[in-house]
Amino acid sequence: MRKFYRAALPAAAAALTAFTAVPAFALDKGDLLARVRGIWVAPLDSSSGISPDLPTARIGVDSAPTGELDFTYMFTENIGAELILAVPVHDLQGKDAIAPLGKIGDTYLLPPVLTLQYHFTPKGPIRPYLGLGINYTIFFNEDPSASLNAALGGPTSINIDNSVGIAAQAGVDIDVAPNVFVNLDLKFVNIAPDVTLTTGNTVRNAQVDINPLIFGVGVGTTF
Protein backbone atom coordinates (compact mmCIF):
# COMPACT_ATOMS: atom_id res chain seq x y z
CA MET A 1 0.00 0.00 0.00
CA ARG A 2 2.82 2.42 0.83
CA LYS A 3 4.39 1.68 -2.56
CA PHE A 4 1.08 2.51 -4.19
CA TYR A 5 0.87 5.87 -2.43
CA ARG A 6 4.52 6.64 -3.21
CA ALA A 7 3.80 6.06 -6.91
CA ALA A 8 0.35 7.68 -6.99
CA LEU A 9 1.10 10.90 -5.11
CA PRO A 10 3.76 12.20 -7.53
CA ALA A 11 1.48 11.37 -10.48
CA ALA A 12 -1.42 13.24 -8.88
CA ALA A 13 0.83 16.18 -8.09
CA ALA A 14 2.09 16.27 -11.68
CA ALA A 15 -1.48 16.21 -13.03
CA LEU A 16 -2.49 19.04 -10.69
CA THR A 17 0.56 21.06 -11.72
CA ALA A 18 -0.22 20.54 -15.40
CA PHE A 19 -3.81 21.65 -14.87
CA THR A 20 -2.95 24.76 -12.89
CA ALA A 21 -0.34 25.66 -15.52
CA VAL A 22 -3.09 26.15 -18.11
CA PRO A 23 -3.74 29.90 -18.30
CA ALA A 24 -7.23 30.63 -17.00
CA PHE A 25 -9.52 32.28 -19.50
CA ALA A 26 -11.17 35.26 -17.77
CA LEU A 27 -14.71 36.11 -18.78
CA ASP A 28 -15.32 39.77 -19.55
CA LYS A 29 -18.20 41.94 -20.64
CA GLY A 30 -18.74 41.60 -24.40
CA ASP A 31 -17.19 38.12 -24.77
CA LEU A 32 -18.87 35.67 -27.15
CA LEU A 33 -18.46 31.99 -26.26
CA ALA A 34 -19.13 29.21 -28.77
CA ARG A 35 -19.51 25.54 -27.88
CA VAL A 36 -20.10 22.33 -29.80
CA ARG A 37 -21.68 19.55 -27.76
CA GLY A 38 -22.73 15.98 -28.21
CA ILE A 39 -26.03 15.61 -26.36
CA TRP A 40 -28.35 12.85 -25.20
CA VAL A 41 -32.02 13.88 -25.11
CA ALA A 42 -33.87 11.75 -22.54
CA PRO A 43 -37.61 12.51 -22.34
CA LEU A 44 -39.43 12.25 -19.01
CA ASP A 45 -42.49 11.53 -21.10
CA SER A 46 -46.12 11.03 -20.21
CA SER A 47 -49.31 11.16 -22.24
CA SER A 48 -53.04 11.57 -21.95
CA GLY A 49 -55.28 8.98 -23.53
CA ILE A 50 -56.07 9.35 -27.23
CA SER A 51 -59.55 10.84 -27.50
CA PRO A 52 -62.27 10.26 -28.33
CA ASP A 53 -62.18 6.48 -28.78
CA LEU A 54 -58.80 5.26 -27.44
CA PRO A 55 -58.74 6.50 -23.82
CA THR A 56 -56.35 3.76 -22.66
CA ALA A 57 -53.89 4.25 -25.53
CA ARG A 58 -50.91 6.56 -24.93
CA ILE A 59 -47.93 7.93 -26.84
CA GLY A 60 -44.33 7.69 -25.67
CA VAL A 61 -41.18 9.41 -26.93
CA ASP A 62 -37.81 7.63 -27.17
CA SER A 63 -34.43 9.08 -26.17
CA ALA A 64 -32.16 10.31 -28.97
CA PRO A 65 -28.54 11.46 -29.46
CA THR A 66 -27.64 14.47 -31.57
CA GLY A 67 -25.21 17.37 -31.89
CA GLU A 68 -25.74 20.84 -30.48
CA LEU A 69 -24.33 24.29 -31.20
CA ASP A 70 -24.61 27.14 -28.73
CA PHE A 71 -23.47 30.72 -28.32
CA THR A 72 -23.20 32.74 -25.11
CA TYR A 73 -22.93 36.53 -25.05
CA MET A 74 -21.62 38.02 -21.80
CA PHE A 75 -23.46 41.18 -20.72
CA THR A 76 -21.13 41.40 -17.69
CA GLU A 77 -18.34 39.12 -16.49
CA ASN A 78 -20.95 37.12 -14.53
CA ILE A 79 -24.16 37.37 -16.57
CA GLY A 80 -24.62 35.98 -20.06
CA ALA A 81 -27.36 34.84 -22.45
CA GLU A 82 -27.04 31.50 -24.24
CA LEU A 83 -28.83 30.41 -27.42
CA ILE A 84 -28.91 26.65 -27.98
CA LEU A 85 -29.61 25.02 -31.35
CA ALA A 86 -30.12 21.31 -32.11
CA VAL A 87 -32.30 19.12 -34.36
CA PRO A 88 -32.94 15.72 -32.74
CA VAL A 89 -35.11 13.00 -34.29
CA HIS A 90 -37.36 11.07 -31.91
CA ASP A 91 -39.26 7.83 -32.39
CA LEU A 92 -42.84 7.81 -31.12
CA GLN A 93 -43.87 4.62 -29.35
CA GLY A 94 -47.26 3.12 -28.63
CA LYS A 95 -47.91 2.66 -24.90
CA ASP A 96 -50.55 0.92 -22.82
CA ALA A 97 -53.38 -0.23 -25.14
CA ILE A 98 -51.33 0.36 -28.31
CA ALA A 99 -48.00 -0.87 -26.92
CA PRO A 100 -48.07 -3.95 -29.23
CA LEU A 101 -47.74 -1.58 -32.22
CA GLY A 102 -44.19 -0.66 -31.14
CA LYS A 103 -43.01 2.38 -33.08
CA ILE A 104 -45.98 4.42 -34.29
CA GLY A 105 -44.01 7.20 -36.00
CA ASP A 106 -41.16 9.64 -35.72
CA THR A 107 -40.65 13.39 -35.75
CA TYR A 108 -37.94 16.01 -36.06
CA LEU A 109 -37.66 18.76 -33.45
CA LEU A 110 -36.12 22.20 -33.66
CA PRO A 111 -36.10 23.36 -30.03
CA PRO A 112 -34.17 26.64 -29.77
CA VAL A 113 -33.55 27.42 -26.09
CA LEU A 114 -32.60 30.84 -24.75
CA THR A 115 -31.30 31.01 -21.18
CA LEU A 116 -30.03 33.80 -18.97
CA GLN A 117 -26.96 32.48 -17.13
CA TYR A 118 -25.01 33.40 -14.02
CA HIS A 119 -21.31 32.40 -14.09
CA PHE A 120 -19.97 32.05 -10.55
CA THR A 121 -16.18 32.23 -11.06
CA PRO A 122 -15.55 34.20 -14.26
CA LYS A 123 -11.81 34.58 -13.63
CA GLY A 124 -11.04 30.96 -12.70
CA PRO A 125 -10.07 27.87 -14.72
CA ILE A 126 -13.28 26.10 -13.59
CA ARG A 127 -16.40 28.17 -14.22
CA PRO A 128 -19.76 26.71 -13.09
CA TYR A 129 -22.98 28.38 -14.17
CA LEU A 130 -26.75 28.19 -13.77
CA GLY A 131 -29.30 29.26 -16.35
CA LEU A 132 -33.05 29.83 -16.63
CA GLY A 133 -34.97 30.66 -19.77
CA ILE A 134 -37.51 29.70 -22.40
CA ASN A 135 -37.80 27.38 -25.39
CA TYR A 136 -39.99 27.34 -28.48
CA THR A 137 -40.08 23.84 -29.96
CA ILE A 138 -41.00 23.35 -33.62
CA PHE A 139 -42.03 19.87 -34.80
CA PHE A 140 -41.72 18.90 -38.46
CA ASN A 141 -41.55 15.87 -40.79
CA GLU A 142 -43.90 13.85 -38.59
CA ASP A 143 -44.10 10.41 -40.19
CA PRO A 144 -46.50 7.60 -39.17
CA SER A 145 -45.44 3.95 -39.11
CA ALA A 146 -47.04 1.14 -41.08
CA SER A 147 -48.25 -0.42 -37.82
CA LEU A 148 -50.14 2.75 -36.87
CA ASN A 149 -51.76 3.00 -40.31
CA ALA A 150 -52.88 -0.61 -40.12
CA ALA A 151 -54.23 -0.31 -36.57
CA LEU A 152 -56.27 2.82 -37.33
CA GLY A 153 -57.65 1.45 -40.57
CA GLY A 154 -55.91 3.57 -43.18
CA PRO A 155 -53.25 6.18 -43.92
CA THR A 156 -52.87 8.40 -40.86
CA SER A 157 -51.26 11.81 -40.61
CA ILE A 158 -49.53 12.93 -37.43
CA ASN A 159 -49.50 16.62 -36.56
CA ILE A 160 -47.65 17.84 -33.47
CA ASP A 161 -48.30 21.42 -32.40
CA ASN A 162 -45.38 23.68 -31.61
CA SER A 163 -44.73 24.18 -27.91
CA VAL A 164 -43.54 26.97 -25.60
CA GLY A 165 -42.08 26.22 -22.16
CA ILE A 166 -39.47 27.01 -19.56
CA ALA A 167 -35.90 25.72 -19.55
CA ALA A 168 -33.43 25.30 -16.68
CA GLN A 169 -29.71 24.65 -16.98
CA ALA A 170 -26.60 23.81 -14.93
CA GLY A 171 -23.11 23.37 -16.30
CA VAL A 172 -19.41 24.05 -16.05
CA ASP A 173 -16.61 25.17 -18.38
CA ILE A 174 -13.13 23.78 -17.60
CA ASP A 175 -10.02 25.27 -19.22
CA VAL A 176 -7.74 22.73 -20.94
CA ALA A 177 -5.62 25.01 -23.13
CA PRO A 178 -5.34 28.74 -23.77
CA ASN A 179 -8.74 29.87 -25.04
CA VAL A 180 -10.07 26.28 -25.17
CA PHE A 181 -12.33 24.67 -22.58
CA VAL A 182 -14.38 21.53 -22.17
CA ASN A 183 -18.02 21.83 -21.20
CA LEU A 184 -20.42 19.68 -19.19
CA ASP A 185 -24.05 20.72 -19.32
CA LEU A 186 -27.45 19.53 -18.08
CA LYS A 187 -30.76 21.06 -19.12
CA PHE A 188 -34.41 20.43 -18.38
CA VAL A 189 -36.77 21.66 -21.10
CA ASN A 190 -40.55 21.84 -20.71
CA ILE A 191 -42.09 20.56 -23.99
CA ALA A 192 -45.77 19.59 -23.89
CA PRO A 193 -47.42 19.61 -27.35
CA ASP A 194 -50.84 18.52 -28.50
CA VAL A 195 -50.76 15.61 -30.99
CA THR A 196 -53.42 15.07 -33.65
CA LEU A 197 -53.89 11.78 -35.53
CA THR A 198 -56.08 12.08 -38.63
CA THR A 199 -57.33 8.97 -40.44
CA GLY A 200 -59.77 9.87 -43.21
CA ASN A 201 -62.55 11.83 -41.48
CA THR A 202 -61.61 10.58 -38.01
CA VAL A 203 -59.60 12.98 -35.85
CA ARG A 204 -57.98 11.84 -32.60
CA ASN A 205 -56.09 13.96 -30.07
CA ALA A 206 -53.67 13.51 -27.20
CA GLN A 207 -51.42 15.71 -25.11
CA VAL A 208 -47.86 14.42 -24.81
CA ASP A 209 -45.48 15.79 -22.18
CA ILE A 210 -41.96 15.20 -23.51
CA ASN A 211 -40.06 17.25 -20.88
CA PRO A 212 -36.54 16.00 -21.68
CA LEU A 213 -33.40 16.02 -19.63
CA ILE A 214 -30.57 16.94 -22.00
CA PHE A 215 -27.07 15.76 -21.09
CA GLY A 216 -24.24 17.47 -22.99
CA VAL A 217 -20.44 17.16 -23.29
CA GLY A 218 -18.47 19.40 -25.60
CA VAL A 219 -15.67 21.86 -26.28
CA GLY A 220 -15.72 25.61 -26.61
CA THR A 221 -13.76 28.74 -27.35
CA THR A 222 -14.29 32.50 -27.28
CA PHE A 223 -14.28 35.35 -29.77
Q: Tell me whether residue 8 is in a domain.
A: no
Cα–Cα distance, 143 to 157 (Å, whole number): 7
State phi, psi for 75 to the nearest 5 degrees: -75, -35
31-56 pLDDT, tens digit each: 999 999 999 999 999 999 999 999 99
Question: Is 103 a member of any domain?
Answer: yes
Q: Which domain holds residue 128?
A: 24-222
Has residue 17 been placed in a domain?
no
Residue 7 lies in a domain: no
SS (H, E, C) 71-94: EEEECCCCEEEEEEEECCEEEEEE
List pLDDT tens digits, range 127-176: 999 999 999 999 999 999 999 999 999 999 999 999 999 999 999 999 99
**14, pLDDT greater than 60:** no
Residue 10 lies in a domain: no
Q: Provide the CATH number for the domain around residue 207.
A: 2.40.160.20
* CA 151/CA 94 separation, integer angstroms: 11
Judge whether 1 lies within some domain.
no
pTM for this model (two decimals):
0.86
- Asked whether residue 66 is domain-assigned, the answer is yes
Number of structural domains (the chain) is 1
